[in-house]
Structure 1
């Protein structure tokens, strides 16, 4: 696989994670670089692991993963988005900086939701002569950079829209999930 193709694959796989990170950054009261780097690292690790897992599953799980990956991603992203919207309507959630940063498991779940497509890509790469570790590293590094930038971009968005930032973040997550379903159901045909 050509290095440019690997880079483009890494950027493509990190696009939905970037959108989710913008929503997360908008929902955070005052994200700092430490928060952005932590979120980027978690997303990057999860995004790097999933194509390796998909590659290991290979052709045996190919049909099952491809048939359901978009619905799994939609479900996880929608649940996280609805949770963010719910929190926005309850006392103190938008103004409480500690309550909007998200724990390790919440961030990892969001990372998993946006990396289900990388699992399917990994399955497809099992049939191609490619060094999966190089591809996974490229996907992970691209995701790390894009998510870190997304959280900080969301910070600016959060300042502009104030208390509605958490609602916007939740809506963005749901829209990313819906876009994944749309691409798999309507565009892929």
Structure 2
């Protein structure tokens, strides 16, 4: 696989993380140092999942292909539902950025990187060396996720109180999109 193809594969894999990063940035009420943490989680998981898929190879390919869309949908539904609930409950946020939860970011990182596992399986089938692709995937995802949080932070104030509900609905929509794309 050439560098050009690897780059566009990485961009394609990073789109879910980019979208989720925008929604997190929209509701982020604290400074942008958290953008780095979110981007790091997304980048690392997008880089590690192809390695796991590459190592698993053929044994788990059928199982992952069957269940991955459902797993991603359920995880995004849970996080999105939680955001909608919190947005509708009008809970007060304190100054230390309650909305930022490592547990939530971890779940979102897993949910948005499940498709990268399948890519890793395909790398194993194609006998593709794994190091360069995972570096590119991780770096592209990191960069796009950081930019996504920044974009969300800049436009989030336009929607104020409704932004967390919108972010939750967007996450649920992304999960539904992943599910529907893989059912047909």
TM bucket normalised to smaller: over 0.9
Contiguous gaps of at least 5 residues in structure 1: none
Shift >4 Å, 4+ stretches = 93-97
Hey, what does 2:9 align to over in structure 1?
9
TM-score, normalised with respect to structure 2:
0.94
Give a deviation string over 1:64-97, Cα, whole Å, max 9, x none.
Answer: 0001111110110111000111111224346765
Hey, what does 1:144 align to over in structure 2?
142
Contiguous gaps of at least 5 residues in structure 2: none
Cα pair distance change 1:18/1:77, threshold 3 Å: same
Partner Cα distance (1:9, 1:124) in 2 = 12
Partner Cα distance (1:132, 1:172) in 2 = 32
Aligned alpha-carbon RMSD (Å)? 1.4
Cα contact 2:47–2:135 (8 A) shared by 1: yes
Hey, what does 1:45 align to over in structure 2?
44
Cα contact 2:26–2:156 (8 A) shared by 1: yes
Q: How does 1:18-57 map to 2 (within 5 A)?
A: 18-30=18-30, 32-57=31-56
TM-score, normalised with respect to structure 1:
0.92
Cα pair distance change 1:168/1:96, threshold 3 Å: farther
Which segment is superposed worse, 58-67 or 122-131?
A: 122-131
Which segment is superposed worse, 75-84 or 175-184?
A: 175-184
Aligned residues: 184
Deviation, 1:33, is 2.6
Which of 112, 128, 139 in structure 1 is aligned with 2:110? Answer: 112
Partner Cα distance (2:88, 2:110) in 1 = 26
